[in-house]
Structure 1
Amino acid sequence: MTLLLVWLIFTGVAGEIRLEAEDGELLGVAVDSTLTGYSGRGYVTGFDAPEDSVRFSFEAPRGVYRVVFGVSFSSRFASYALRVDDWHQTGSLIKRGGGFFEASIGEIWLDEGAHTMAFQLMNGALDYVRLEPVSYGPPARPPAQLSDSQATASAQALFAFLLSEYGRHILAGQQQNPYRRDFDAINYVRNVTGKEPALVSFDLIDYSPTREAHGVVHYQTPEDWIAWAGRDGIVSLMWHWNAPTDLIEDPSQDCYWWYGFYTRCTTFDVAAALADTSSERYRLLLRDIDVIAAQLQKFQQADIPVLWRPLHEAAGGWFWWGAKGPEPFKQLWRLLYERLVHHHGLHNLIWVYTHEPGAAEWYPGDAYVDIVGRDVYADDPDALMRSDWNELQTLFGGRKLVALTETGTLPDVEVITDYGIWWSWFSIWTDPFLRDVDPDRLTRVYHSERVLTRDELPDWRSYVLHATTVQPAGDLALAVYPNPGAGRLHVEVGLPVAAPVVVEVFNLLGQRVFQYQAGMQPAGLWRRAFELALAPGVYLVQVRAGNLVARRRWVSVR
């Protein structure tokens, strides 16, 4: 057995780590030079047994890296196994060309410091490994505008604050159990981390009339929540709405009145109720909304803006408000909006819609939604939730803020933000999920420089909702044209002072797809035209000139 161990730090392009196979630790394999087209002194071959591998030790800065192999094999497919530290992946590579070629297996995240890698390629040859740094930009900020044109000053200020922090910080949030007289979830977080969440979500569940009719005890009240909020705490409210009538009381089906928000425990037909506005069931819908309006009014009277998240997870079908499909749901959402905002004059509400995967047709519309959330309950405590984030950015990027409105796990914020995943806030569901989060993870996240806790909140009530305060586009006079454009992008920017100019283009997933560094430029009008081979879609064009920045949305068409 050939055995060679070298501490490797090879760089090609800026920040790239290149590991030549022949310089690794060889276990059951050997260096060869029979084939042509390899780099360095040769390549490694002889991966015949499952334990045959080449291993590397290397150092890397923290970040996301695209893993690229220089390989050659004669068959159409070749199986590989890759281990980096404790992370492991297996799969197949597809042959391209007749000699050595590059194959990528995706991206990995590396913490700063020393790492190990082991690679196997059955019946193939490995020339090198490249770890190519991947830089994700911030998500595109949506317009500085609420759906309610009469929103209160404090609601506007809170929204302006959320916009200003989007892509810079994630707000720490927590769901509070409504069946505890004390704030047990908040207290637990404080005891573990020494900090409080910036945002707490409460549930109006027991104010549903069909629950109050059974003499439900209110362990917590809106007055308690208002007292917690004070002048700086951020309140989110949800409503597990017990059906207005037609509850199923059948222990054999595990159905009781307190499960009346589940589809399985009510025969209430929301589509039929909405179809007949003269019906008793339609009247009961309005009755329930009016009861909840009275509770929401308390927050408006106390000048507490509310991140209002009703009718959540509708597309899942497990709640009665989503049981009849997207059209009745959207009709109910709009009825709720009109009744609360225009009939009851509740202008302290920031409307949060909860999206479900693959359910774009359920969206009520931009005129009725301010923020889009996602409720995620992952089996893996280290899940990045990239697919959820990417889908939301594809659908709503540049249009709406995106939040992790419920989560059963707590992602590592240092990792997900390196991937460009910047939720506006996260909210951990109450026990048992909260206590299942590793206390060390909870503490690290609450003390991360990328997370805001209650003690770190600024005076968000002083924020003003207009574009120049929430997005620094006014720092530079920037024009991009034609818009839409087919391949050719013209950029014009007025430079108030001499400065180095950098032009970047990001897609709605936050991935940088183009960069141009112009170097130092004199004050005055600066122009450039770029030929961009980009897929049709919406992009964010960002121009930096020293410490000044401007951003514009640009649409690419064919």
Structure 2
Amino acid sequence: MRFRNNVRRVVFVGLCICLLSVVTPIPAAQATNPPANCPTTISTSNPNASPAAKQVLTYLWELPTHSTNRVIAGQFGAYGDGADAATSSARLQKIFDETGKWVGLTGMDYHTWDINHYNNLAMPNAYLIEQWQSGSLVTVSWHAINPWTSGESNDWEYPKGSINTPVVRELITPGTAVNARWMQIIGNIADGLKELQDKGVVVIWRPFHEMNGEWFWWSRQTQADFSALWQHMYNYFTNERGLNNILWGFSPNLNGGKDSRRTDYYWPGDEYVDVVGVDKYMALNENPLSLDQWGDYKLLIAKCKPFGIFEFGPTPADAQPDSPRYDYTRLIRDIKNRYPRTVFFQAWEWHWALSENKNIKQLLNDPWIVTQDELPKWDAETSS
């Protein structure tokens, strides 16, 4: 995510670039076959998932069997730090004006509306509802506020001292003050997701992302504590709040090196996840794209879930108009040749966006790409 330490990202990118030559293309036969030991069909983690949610998951799982139209092109909407629904819609319009195509996936992050707008999720939800009703798939991420301090997601302050990793198990231990606060926080988030459910919107919900990094308060946990935190939210949203419109997205950071926590280190269990993917930020001169330098891609596709790139950020030196721009045709080229189980990507906002880079018309007209007009129509299920 954008405010995380850029120096760390550049160092990690450097590690990847120096060994790109060892990455070999994946044989064409592997482009359609599920990974070894994976079933040919898939079921939602929630057996009570809505018909539309089940259809979306099945569609994602089957995309790699298609000869064309198999990678959904996405553009993230807004994180809330200066951008909003209007700027997000304007960005999509700019992409359409250049390409004649609407992207097939977009998303919002509940962060700023949660922390500054008194839990008013009306603005991001209005955008998500509009985009879903227009025919796009939608994702929701959440840079969750620090429940001990109400600070940002990268606020490490903690009652036992800022040098100590917050113990997330306290959040799910009844009787603690922070548990009461946490239940209020996630209750508000559940309310927002319920509004989407009432409008028939299927959401790829992506909590606690980049958990294998070290920049968020939910990072650096034990495997058991992180899994307990994830499972607690899953059970609360699914069993107590009846949110059957959610597909749960597990989204680690792309591994920074052989000594970093691998992408499946914090896996909460097969029965708690529907979709897997990575957040990938890189220097413009990373060519070809490296998603498997340390086995990250293989680890995740072995989970037998649809795989995508939840956040994609080709990073120029700065955001100035004369900065070099990324050629987005390289992305689909490398997905075809190296990562053919990839079924979607979501370009991040700001200078990472499709609209700020090169050759997006060629990208969105590539035979492998799925745009909004090429997505199926899902079963409508609304309460109003």
TM-score by length of 1: 0.53
Q: From the CA coordinates, give the structure whose radius of gyration is larger.
A: 1
Identity across the alignment (%)? 21
Query: Residue 372 of structure 2 corresponds to which residue in structure 1?
Result: 454
Query: Residue 154 of structure 2 corresponds to which residue in structure 1?
Result: 262
2:190 to 276, 284, 293: 293
Query: What amino acid does structure 2 have at the position aligned with 1:365?
Result: G
- Residue 392 of structure 1 pairs with residue 297 of structure 2: yes
Please tell me whether the aligned partners of residues 192 and 439 of structure 1 are also in contact (alpha carbons under 8 angstroms).
no
Query: Residue 418 of structure 1 corresponds to which residue in structure 2?
Result: 337
SS at match of 1:294: helix
Q: What pairs up with 1:154-233 in 2 under 5 angstroms?
A: 154-168=52-66, 169-177=70-78, 178=80, 179-182=83-86, 183-208=89-114, 210-213=115-118, 220-230=123-133, 232-233=135-136
Query: Residue 405 of structure 1 corresponds to which residue in structure 2?
Result: 310
Q: How far has the Cα of 1:217 moved from its partner?
A: 8.2
Q: Distance in 2 between matches of 1:314 and 1:144?
A: 25
The size of the alignment, in residue pairs, is 323
Change beyond 3 A, Cα 1:274–1:194: same
Change beyond 3 A, Cα 1:161–1:315: same
CA RMSD of aligned residues (A): 3.0
2:349 to 430, 442, 445: 430
Q: How far has the Cα of 1:374 moved from its partner?
A: 0.3
Query: Residue 171 of structure 2 corresponds to which residue in structure 1?
Result: 274
Change beyond 3 A, Cα 1:375–1:185: same
Q: Distance in 2 between matches of 1:264 and 1:436?
A: 34
Structure showing greater relative contact order (alpha-carbon pairs closer than 8 Å, 6 or more residues apart): 2
Query: What amino acid does structure 1 have at the position aligned with 2:96?
Result: R
1:322 to 219, 230, 244: 219
Please tell me whether the aligned partners of residues 211 and 218 of structure 2 are also in contact (alpha carbons under 8 angstroms).
yes
SS at match of 1:150: coil
Change beyond 3 A, Cα 1:437–1:211: closer
- Residue 361 of structure 1 pairs with residue 258 of structure 2: no
Unaligned runs of 5+ in 1: 1-88, 92-104, 110-132, 248-256, 463-558
- Residue 383 of structure 1 pairs with residue 288 of structure 2: yes
Q: Distance in 2 between matches of 1:378 and 1:321?
A: 23
Query: Residue 48 of structure 2 corresponds to which residue in structure 1?
Result: 150
Q: How far has the Cα of 1:310 moved from its partner?
A: 0.9
Change beyond 3 A, Cα 1:196–1:382: farther
- Name the one with the larger helix percent: 2
Q: Distance in 2 between matches of 1:280 and 1:395?
A: 36
- Name the one with the larger strand percent: 1
Please tell me whether the aligned partners of residues 203 and 237 of structure 1 are also in contact (alpha carbons under 8 angstroms).
yes
TM-score by length of 2: 0.75
Please tell me whether the aligned partners of residues 24 and 338 of structure 2 are also in contact (alpha carbons under 8 angstroms).
no
Change beyond 3 A, Cα 1:309–1:217: closer
Q: Which deviates more, 312-321 or 411-420?
A: 411-420
Q: How far has the Cα of 1:296 moved from its partner?
A: 0.3
Deviations 1:382-407 (A, max 9, x none): 33224169533245426211111111
Query: Residue 308 of structure 1 corresponds to which residue in structure 2?
Result: 205
Moved over 4 A (4+): 105-109, 216-219, 265-268
Unaligned runs of 5+ in 2: 1-16, 256-261, 315-327
- Residue 344 of structure 1 pairs with residue 241 of structure 2: yes
Q: How far has the Cα of 1:147 moved from its partner?
A: 0.5
Q: How far has the Cα of 1:170 moved from its partner?
A: 0.4
Q: How far has the Cα of 1:435 moved from its partner?
A: 5.7
SS at match of 1:154: helix
